[in-house]
Amino acid sequence: MLTSLREDNHAISFPLLRTGKHFMLILLAATLIIFSLPLSALAAYPNNSVGVSDNGIYYAHDKASRLKPMTPSGDEADSFAFCINRQKKVPSYSHNSHSGEYHRTDNASANDIYTEWLHNRGGTRSNRIDSAQLDDALRKLIYIYVADPTDIEGASGLRAINPNGIGFYNIIQNLVYHYTEGDKYTTYPRLEQNTAQKMVQDLLERPIDEVIPQNVDVRVNLYKAVPTGILKKSKYQSLVSGRVIVRPTTVHLSKKAVNGTSELEGAKLKVVEGENPTGKTITEWTSGKTTKTIQVTPGTYTMVETTAPAGYEIAEHITFQIDTTGTIKTKTQNGTYTTNNTNTITMLDKVKPPTTPPKPPTDRTPPPTTPAHPEITISKKTLGVETELQGATLRLVEGKSPSGAQIEEWETGLTPRSFGLTPGTYTLIEVKAPTGYKIARPVTFSVEADGTVTLQTRNSSATAKQKKVTMIDEPETPNTPPETPNTPPETPNTPPETPNTPPASPRVSKKPVSSPRVKNLAAVESPLARTGAAGGVLALASAAMLGTGLALLRRRNL
């Protein structure tokens, strides 16, 4: 059957031969031709056609060597189609004439496709394929053609010799016949073609959930051939096309304070397309008590904070990607993307440092506002030492129980640790004490909305000074008693010093006394003390002697 040769400003398209007998000869010849259609290097062939027939009748024609279902008005109903019965005729279509009519079944089931395929074969089949196997193969082939998830065209070199994609289309069509007609795999004259076919075969041998991502639906459109006109008794090949529907990925956007556990309210945020923070806005909102949830298709997006809550700094924007599998990847500071473990993207705000001291309150000055997350300081020390105790592993959890939800775990250093905590009850636990110290008991405390910190014990509570919680470690007690000395305490070797000489005593005269009235010689030996009376006697005696001498001198002179 002869067909017209189409020529336009871009290239000449050679339609497929309309009989199955000569199909392979023309296919092998066509794959050797390098077409020059002005198409960019495509890694996939999305089906974006929107044509719908008013009367339910569709036609198909070979445009650029690819079958395309058309509406009576000439609109594309699907961007491509594959034949499923090689022994039947291929339809033709132009604005002036056509052969073959079709009824379309959107999102056909496996049973719909299998029944039509078997009907066109007269109720017989050339292989033992069942409806589930046929449906599985067709959905994989349609997805591989539309998405080319592993870039088979580029990796095999096929795109370099067939930049318009005809070579890839023909490989997929022949693999459809492999399943519907039981054909052997085609051997092509070019290495690139055989390599591409082998890469497709490898994907077909894998389970369908390893080929088609979980967030992707492949919907098969079935075109049932309806004989009309002079060819009423002839059968045309039925066709299959398909749509790859990527379900939107759910992304949760969270705004918190650094070290905070609940949502930070009052931040104005938006999500834009691309990596530029000034890109097209997709959605914008003000943060509240819960996360923001959005549905996005594969692409690159950026979360931007335009206004921070009072007392907080504006955070750096976050760029993230959604791939065709629905996986979320976040851009790092070095420009690479890392895979998120969850569907939540969290943006953290830092508390704004004070710039000027607060003004003293006056009657007209309103009281300062308290941040939603008061900053609490946690310190680790030992008894009697003012500096921080380093090397302790601490953990902060929610509630009164040490098994509560963990907020943070860290190792103490030279300075205390600060947290912006929401009002509530918390427990500080020492997981590991530094060498030489005992593990301290857990410290439970509560934080009020105004930032007041109350330390709680079994029977009482006390307000912490300066919003500071301090945990004290005690040194470990030695396992052995202290050593006792082997010798008794030292005692003086000599008695206390005593005078070498007795106290001074009056001199004793050694001249013997012969007076019989002295009975005690010791008493006589003690001289009389020189008193004032004795001095007076001596003076009188001297005066008497002097007077006597003067009298004698006078008498001589007379």
Residues 405-427 have pLDDT tens digits of 888 899 999 999 888 888 899 99
Alpha-carbon distance values, 402 to 347, 353, 428, 510 (Å): 28, 32, 8, 101
pLDDT of residue 336: 93
pLDDT of residue 128: 77
Angstrom distance (rounded) from CA 262 to CA 398: 12
DSSP, collapsed to helix, strand or coil, labels residue 409 as strand
The region of weakest confidence among 96-110, 237-251, 253-267, 292-306 is 96-110
Q: Show the beta-strand stretches assigned E in 187-278.
A: 216-226, 239-246, 249-257, 268-273
At 360, the amino acid letter reads: P
Angstrom distance (rounded) from CA 322 to CA 224: 37
Average of pLDDT values for 320-341? 91
The region of weakest confidence among 206-210, 357-361, 428-432 is 357-361
At 452, the amino acid letter reads: T
Tell me: pLDDT of 395 over 80. yes
Tell me: pLDDT of 296 over 80. yes
Q: How confident is the model at residue 558 (pLDDT cuts 50, 70, 90)?
A: very low
Angstrom distance (rounded) from CA 405 to CA 396: 9
- Establish how many alpha carbons lie within 13 A of residue 84's alpha carbon, considering only the half-sphere containing its beta carbon: 28
Q: How confident is the model at residue 386 (pLDDT cuts 50, 70, 90)?
A: confident
Alpha-carbon distance values, 181 to 295, 304, 359 (Å): 42, 55, 88
The residue ranking higher by pLDDT, 44 or 519, is: 44
Q: What angle do CA 137, 138, 139 make, to 5 degrees?
A: 95
Tell me: pLDDT of 350 over 90. yes
pLDDT of residue 363: 61
Task: With beta carbons less than 8 A apart as the criterion, state whether 141 and 175 touch.
Answer: yes
At 297, the amino acid letter reads: T
Q: How confident is the model at residue 372 (pLDDT cuts 50, 70, 90)?
A: low
DSSP type of residue 437:
B
Angstrom distance (rounded) from CA 187 to CA 534: 162
Q: Show the beta-strand stretches assigned E in 86-180.
A: 92-93, 98-99, 101-105
pLDDT of residue 256: 95
Angstrom distance (rounded) from CA 248 to CA 256: 25
Tell me: pLDDT of 195 over 90. yes
Tell me: pLDDT of 351 over 90. yes
Task: With beta carbons less than 8 A apart as the criterion, state whether 113 and 222 touch.
Answer: yes
pLDDT of residue 384: 84
Q: How confident is the model at residue 22 (pLDDT cuts 50, 70, 90)?
A: very low
Structural domains of the chain sorted by starting position, each given as residue range(s) with its CATH number in brackets: 6-245 (no CATH), 249-349 (2.60.40.10), 375-473 (2.60.40.10)
Tell me: pLDDT of 29 over 60. no
DSSP, collapsed to helix, strand or coil, labels residue 420 as strand
Closest to 204 in 3D by CA, of 268, 150, 279, 280: 150
Closest to 225 in 3D by CA, of 91, 70, 107, 111: 91
The residue ranking higher by pLDDT, 236 or 57, is: 57
Q: What percent of the chain has pLDDT over 90?
A: 47
Tell me: pLDDT of 264 over 70. yes
Tell me: pLDDT of 237 over 60. yes
The residue ranking higher by pLDDT, 527 or 355, is: 355
Task: With beta carbons less than 8 A apart as the criterion, state whether 289 and 280 touch.
Answer: no
Average of pLDDT values for 205-215? 92
The mean of the pLDDT values for the chain is: 78
Tell me: pLDDT of 7 over 90. no
- Establish how many alpha carbons lie within 13 A of residue 553's alpha carbon, considering only the half-sphere containing its beta carbon: 6
Q: b/e string for 201-238 if b means 16 or more Cβ within 10 A?
A: eebbeeeeeebbbebbebebbbbbbeeeeeeeeebbbb
Q: b/e string for 240-272 if b means 16 or more Cβ within 10 A?
A: bbbbbebeebebebbbbbbbbbbbbebbbbbbb
pLDDT of residue 553: 38
CA 297 to the chain's CA centroid: 22
Angstrom distance (rounded) from CA 377 to CA 488: 53
**pLDDT tens readout for residues 71-127:** 998 899 999 999 998 888 877 766 566 777 899 999 999 999 999 988 877 777 766
Angstrom distance (rounded) from CA 56 to CA 77: 11
The region of weakest confidence among 86-95, 381-390, 394-403, 510-519 is 510-519
- Establish how many alpha carbons lie within 13 A of residue 345's alpha carbon, considering only the half-sphere containing its beta carbon: 28
Q: Which residue has the tokens 């704004």?
A: 352
Closest to 251 in 3D by CA, of 306, 213, 299, 315: 299
Tell me: pLDDT of 509 over 50. no
**pLDDT tens readout for residues 432-487:** 999 999 999 999 999 988 888 998 877 778 888 778 899 999 998 766 655 555 55
Q: Which residue has the tokens 């902060």?
A: 396
Tell me: pLDDT of 182 over 80. yes
The region of weakest confidence among 195-209, 293-307, 454-468 is 454-468
pLDDT of residue 181: 87
Q: b/e string for 410-430 if b means 16 or more Cβ within 10 A?
A: eebeeebbebbbbbeebbbbb
Angstrom distance (rounded) from CA 459 to CA 366: 38
Structure tokens at 110: 């496996």
Tell me: pLDDT of 143 over 80. yes
Tell me: pLDDT of 203 over 90. yes
The backbone torsions φ and ψ at residue 439, rounded to the nearest 5 degrees and listed phi first, read -70, 130
Average of pLDDT values for 56-74? 84
Tell me which range, 15-19, 169-173, 370-374, 459-463, is most confidently predicted by mean pLDDT.
169-173
Helix, strand, coil percentages for the chain (3-state, nearest 5): 20, 30, 50
Torsion of the alpha carbons at 54, 56, 57 and 60, rounded to the nearest 10: 90
The residue ranking higher by pLDDT, 531 or 12, is: 531
DSSP type of residue 321:
E
Average of pLDDT values for 57-78? 85
DSSP type of residue 151:
-
pLDDT of residue 458: 75
pLDDT of residue 449: 83
